Structure 1
């Protein structure tokens, strides 16, 4: 069940990041951006000692912020 929730959160986070940064991305692109963003956001939250309790909304916010950061940096490096 944890895998399914993680994939859904990653997909939603990737789709939100694509919308915020006005970029194109299909299903697979949004999923990859969201999953990588969730990892990036989780590590940043850990490094900044943020109290993320692990609830669904907390995980989604961290994943969205990490996805936006990841997609922004990706576009800066590869454009």
Structure 2
């Protein structure tokens, strides 16, 4: 484990958001390196409803209540996984 990040809070800034996979992987790597918490800020994102499954994801997200512990793209809770 890296001592440089041990117990630190990290702000991860991303310039795009498609599936969230890259940001989630980066956050997991930072946590594995010892970060206490990782927050993510996305600077901008345009959703093209005609691209892939985007329209489906948007409609599914609208049906769910917002919660910090729930992934907007997947139905399972992430509570307690810190």
- TM-score w.r.t. length of structure 2: 0.25
- Which of the two has higher C-alpha Rg? 2
Higher helix share: 1
**Structure possessing the higher relative contact order (Cα contacts under 8 Å, 6 or more residues apart):** 1
Higher strand share: 2
